[in-house]
Amino acid sequence: MKRILSFVFISTLFLIGCCFVSISCSKEKNESSGGSSYDGTTLNLITGGKSSCNIVYPYGSSECYSDAHALSNAIKSLTGLTLPVIPDSKAASDYEILVGKTSRPQSAGVLSSVGDDGFAVCITDRKVVITGTTDSFTALGLYYFETNILKNALNTGTGFLKMTSGDDHVDMTKQDMTMASMIKSGYSFTISTLLTGSCPAEGDINISQGACSDGTYAYIINRTSDDAEAIVYKYKLDGFKLVGRTERFSAGHCNDMTFDNDNGRIVIAHGQTEGTILTMVDASSMTVIGNVNIPKGSGAITYNAGKKEYAVSQGGKTLWIADTDFNILRSFTRTDNTGYTAQGMGSDDNYIYFPMSGTKDNILVVYDWNGNYVRTITVKNSMESESLFCVNGVYYINFYKSYHKGSELHRLSYSLLYNWTE
């Protein structure tokens, strides 16, 4: 009798266990909660105007915070429903859209499939993971999600949003992430700066002004406080080692300078009351060649070797384009009126950039070579910007350290932002 009872008891446990396993598997494949459901293939984030899905971003990331809220706005615009945005410091829910490198294990799991550079948009564990190797690549992932999911009528519409496993996408395509390409594409982005090297004060030569580069060397000019004398310093850009310098010479306020690749010379704009005077320095010998008088005032100057044209500005109000002999080709009036202090300028084949300084930060005011205002971008640095140059798609700003301490040259770093526009 005891054997029969034992058999019945064990058999009952086995049947209960089988039922439990069956129910658990079914729950994993077809779990539904407040309008969200997943059957192992299709993840319904919004159904019938209802959802239990949150959008999650990494706590402390201002870029992903902005991206996540932009995504929420996009989803509301297209479905009519607002998904809550929460940091990853809050408890996980069953259904989530994970933006960036969150602390949820699913983010790291998906990111491991990407490689050195790229982004992924994938379903895993009832979550949509949108992440990239950098914040910029995460933003590209969001733009991909917008184009292929949010703007796909099969996936998104009034009261519904879904994604299937067939929509999973991993992208490791090489991207052009230069400042010019992002501006041209209409992307929003933030700029921070990374120290490349310092050009310290040397006695009374302690106030920094313009900077330029020939692609191998960086040239920085520091002057005296009374504008009487200046020195141009030559640094190897790779490693930032001082390799040469001029003797002391006079170049007025030395407001800006540029490199003329076709003639191997540094061109210095005196600025202030001597705006029509440029001083030329031979880059090989680091000796002053002489002065050139130009037809209009110059407080900022840049040379583009591809176009064989100079762009010149004075006081943040004018912009004129000249040939290599400084004959005026085109003349424009600047329209930005930012309230920031005008400094130098730089350029690439597409745009002209004006670094301008404020009390708390700096900005870059962007124009094209036809004198059209393009946009203004904030630079996260409180030092006084002086000049900008570009080397092979990498941009640098020279900052005056104040208190007669010389300069710091910084490389610009970008974080692409996802921006929803209907």
Mean pLDDT of all residues in 406-412: 97
User: What CATH fold (topology level) applies to the domain 179-417?
Assistant: Neuraminidase (2.120.10)
* Tally of CB atoms within 10 A around 32: 15
Q: Where do the CATH 2.120.10.30 domains begin and end in the chain?
A: 179-417
Residue 122 pLDDT > 60: yes
User: What CATH fold (topology level) applies to the domain 31-171?
Assistant: Chitobiase; domain 2 (3.30.379)
Mean pLDDT of all residues in 411-422: 93
Mean pLDDT of all residues in 388-410: 95
Q: How sure is the predictor about 275, in pLDDT bands with cuts at 50, 70 and 90?
A: confident
Instruction: Give tens-digit pLDDT for 2-60.
Output: 343 343 333 443 333 433 333 222 234 445 567 899 999 999 999 999 999 999 999 99
Using CA atoms, how far apart are residues 155 and 92, in angstroms rounded to an integer? Answer: 24
Tell me what pLDDT residue 32 has.
55
Name the pTM for this structure. 0.86
Instruction: Give tens-digit pLDDT for 240-252.
Output: 999 999 999 999 9
Range name among 84-88, 174-178, 397-401 with the lowest pLDDT average: 174-178
Using CA atoms, how far apart are residues 311 and 96, in angstroms rounded to an integer? Answer: 51
Tell me what pLDDT residue 35 has.
86
Q: Where do the CATH 3.30.379.10 domains begin and end in the chain?
A: 31-171
Residue % of the chain over a pLDDT of 90: 87
Instruction: Give tens-digit pLDDT for 336-387.
Output: 999 999 999 999 999 999 999 999 999 999 999 999 999 999 999 999 999 9
Mean pLDDT of all residues in 158-182: 95
Angle between helices 62-79 and 135-145 (to 10 degrees): 10
